[in-house]
């Protein structure tokens, strides 16, 4: 009886191991939270999926509404501190950073895998089995993916146009895409050294400048940069060829604090003569500096900070364009574009290095004056995007960015994959056959993984206003008969040979999706509890109080120890006497 009572007491005993600022969830609760939140996020993304998916309107704080087809922009609006939300946000950021496409697919596949996990846990399959089964499925899926690779030839314009068109179909609601496809193809063909041979190229070297007006078909590529600056003096020419360009980080104003090389810092004027003397000094100083720059071959000055108006006028009188308050990011891009560093000291101007541009030009576009820096072999490219309304220009920027990134990666990989859900159907079909090699619970896990992947083309069909219950069985039958390129064409809403129709997916994009979604799902499956600090201030206060208590206890122990030693010492002395 005593033993039974003790057992019940231990069973009901729940020791408090966390302080009042920390909360925790057990295995069942945390699984429900993870599954439900992932499903809720996927539900938001689901209607956007596929070429005929719908757009989302996002209204940022005190800003104009944004209409987008980009999954990463939608997911970034979720601000919940629940860890699963942050993990999904990291997943989307990784996919967007590495591929520029496939964010919606990544979210949905993760949600489908976790939904299958929920069902298998309800059947009593342990998470360890599910984790191992997903690992086997992922590795096999990547093998099947490699077996379906189509070789890509950069000289084959049809393949290049088809992969760009396939990316555009997933994002662009504007139907006249031919001019934009031609512009992207021309960009790739004319900048092969920059995209495929340069080790310093990054996608942030492709800039976008949006100017309302005209048609989206009037968008163009500039080999160089565009700076939003007005002409500082009307006497300056609109265009300068073979321009020498100087980049300056310090202010060209000797009254600005911090300009140690410039003199004077302060001037006290008490008479008319002193005013005339100072005016003469100022004119001589700025005049000499402008003449020195002209002798060095300077035609344009980009200054990150303030320039004295007198100096701007002196420069203009000599034909030098002096532009002040150029942004820090623009200065960095100009440094890369021109291959020179910005000067930060005026103590020695004898060895200044200038950048050179084929031409610089002031242009007025839709009322906005801009300064163009043109180089034939430019390390920086700028798309000048036109359009009637800002949402359409935002959409076009997303298109150019995503299409270029996928196309550049495709040229590097020299590989394509069949699109239109053909790859997913083939992976699903082969995985179901592969599952038969495992007579135990792993067979169930691998089969469910295959069903999760098959859900992707089903939702493409559904969002195209077609009937997946009719078309998915047709796709299964076709792939069972070895027709591995059969997929869904959303234009005709029917099953077609996607390779003959020119419907492709990016190799690296699909491979990355399968890897990161499977790994994230496996990581979530292994979580059995959630420990979270819900009140940081309270937590820090408790920690601080705990440290003070520990410090007091330690001091008390030291005090007792020293007192004991003192007593021992005195007793020894007494005994000696």
pLDDT of residue 269: 61
pLDDT of residue 573: 44
Query: What value does the mean pLDDT take over residues 188-200?
Result: 84
Structural domain that includes position 236: 224-385
pLDDT in tens, 456-502: 999 999 988 888 889 999 999 999 998 999 999 888 889 999 999 98
Is the pLDDT reported for residue 549 higher than 60? no
Is the pLDDT reported for residue 15 higher than 80? no
pLDDT of residue 540: 53
Give the list of residues 6+ apart from residue 193 with CB closer than 8 angstroms, or none: 377
What distances in angstroms separate CA 465 from CA 108, 203, 503, one per listed residue? 19, 36, 19
Same domain, yes or no, for 254 and 312?
yes
415-418 and 150-151 beta bridge pairing: antiparallel
| Residue 457 token pair | 């083309």
Q: Which uninterrupted H or E stretch holds 35? A: helix 27-46
Query: What value does the mean pLDDT take over residues 8-20?
Result: 47
Neighbours of 510 (CB within 10 A): 25
Categorize the per-residue pLDDT at 12 as very low, low, confident or very high, splitting at 50, 70 and 90.
very low
Is the pLDDT reported for residue 14 higher than 50? no
205 falls within a domain: no
Same domain, yes or no, for 380 and 233?
yes
Q: Which residue has the higher pLDDT, 178 or 135?
A: 135
The Cα 526–Cα 114 span in angstroms is 12
Give the list of residues 6+ apart from residue 159 with CB closer than 8 angstroms, or none: 152, 153, 416, 502, 504
pLDDT of residue 314: 82
The per-residue pLDDT of the chain, averaged, comes to 80
13 falls within a domain: no
pLDDT of residue 35: 87
214 falls within a domain: no
486-489 and 494-497 beta bridge pairing: antiparallel
189 falls within a domain: no
pLDDT of residue 40: 87
> What is the number of structural domains in the chain?
2
Question: Which DSSP symbol is given to 55?
Answer: P
Can you give the CATH number for the domain in which 300 is found?
3.50.7.10
Is residue 417 within 8 A of residue 148, CB to CB? The reply is yes
Give the list of residues 6+ apart from residue 463 with CB closer than 8 angstroms, or none: 46, 47, 49, 50, 52, 53, 54
Flag the least confident range among 69-83, 147-161, 382-396.
69-83
Query: What value does the mean pLDDT take over residues 216-241?
Result: 87
134 falls within a domain: yes
Flag the least confident range among 142-146, 427-431, 438-442.
438-442
1 falls within a domain: no
pLDDT in tens, 85-116: 888 888 888 888 888 888 899 999 999 999 99
């Amino acid at each position: 009886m005593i033993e039974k009572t003790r057992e019940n007491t231990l069973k009901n005993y729940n020791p408090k191991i966390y302080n009042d600022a920390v909360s925790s969830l057990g295995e069942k609760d945390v699984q429900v939270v993870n599954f439900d939140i992932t499903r809720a996020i996927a539900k938001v993304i689901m209607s956007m999926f596929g070429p005929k998916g719908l757009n989302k309107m996002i209204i940022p704080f005190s800003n104009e509404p944004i209409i987008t087809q980009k999954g990463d922009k939608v997911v970034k609006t979720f601000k919940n501190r629940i860890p699963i939300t942050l993990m999904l946000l990291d997943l989307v950021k990784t996919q967007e950073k590495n591929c520029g496409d496939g964010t919606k697919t990544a979210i949905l596949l993760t949600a489908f895998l976790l939904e299958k996990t929920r069902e298998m846990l309800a059947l009593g399959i342990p998470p360890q089995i599910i984790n191992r089964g997903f690992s086997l499925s992922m590795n096999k899926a990547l093998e099947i993916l490699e077996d379906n690779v189509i070789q890509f030839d950069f000289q084959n314009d049809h393949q290049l146009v088809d992969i760009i068109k396939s990316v555009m179909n997933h994002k662009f609601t504007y139907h006249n895409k031919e001019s934009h496809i031609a512009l992207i193809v021309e960009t790739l063909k004319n900048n092969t050294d920059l995209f495929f041979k340069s080790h310093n190229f990054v996608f942030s070297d492709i800039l976008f400048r949006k100017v309302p007006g005209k048609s989206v078909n009037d968008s163009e590529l500039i080999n160089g940069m565009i700076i939003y600056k007005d002409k500082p003096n009307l006497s300056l020419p609109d265009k300068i060829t073979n321009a020498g360009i100087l980049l300056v980080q310090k202010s060209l104003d000797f009254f600005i604090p911090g300009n140690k090389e410039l003199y004077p810092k302060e001037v006290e004027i008490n008479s008319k003569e002193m005013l005339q003397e100072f005016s003469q000094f100022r004119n001589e100083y700025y005049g000499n500096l402008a003449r020195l720059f002209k002798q060095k071959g300077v035609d344009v000055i980009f200054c990150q900070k303030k320039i004295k108006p007198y100096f701007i006028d002196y420069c203009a009188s000599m034909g030098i364009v002096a532009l002040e308050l150029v942004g820090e990011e623009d200065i960095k891009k100009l440094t890369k574009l021109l291959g020179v560093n910005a000067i930060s000291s005026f103590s020695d101007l004898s060895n200044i290095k200038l950048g050179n541009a084929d031409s610089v030009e002031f242009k007025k576009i839709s009322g906005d004056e801009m300064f163009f820096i043109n180089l034939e072999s430019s390390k920086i490219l700028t798309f000048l995007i036109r359009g009637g309304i800002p949402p359409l220009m935002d959409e076009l920027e997303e298109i150019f960015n995503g299409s270029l990134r996928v196309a550049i990666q495709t040229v590097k990989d020299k590989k394509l994959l069949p699109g239109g859900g053909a790859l997913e159907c083939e992976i699903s079909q082969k995985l179901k056959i592969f599952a038969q090699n495992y007579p135990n619970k792993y067979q169930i896990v691998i089969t469910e993984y295959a069903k999760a992947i098959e859900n992707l083309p089903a939702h493409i069909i559904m969002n195209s206003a077609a009937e997946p219950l009719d078309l998915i069985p047709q796709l299964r039958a076709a792939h069972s008969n070895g027709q591995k390129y059969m997929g869904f064409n959303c234009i005709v809403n029917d099953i077609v040979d996607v390779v003959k129709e020119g419907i492709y997916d990016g190799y690296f994009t699909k491979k990355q999706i399968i890897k990161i979604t499977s790994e994230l799902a496996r990581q979530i499956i292994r979580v059995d509890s959630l420990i979270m600090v819900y009140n940081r201030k309270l937590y820090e206060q408790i920690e601080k109080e705990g440290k003070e208590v520990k410090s007091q206890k330690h001091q008390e122990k030291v005090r007792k120890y020293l007192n004991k030693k003192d007593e021992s010492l005195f007793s020894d002395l007494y005994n000696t006497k």
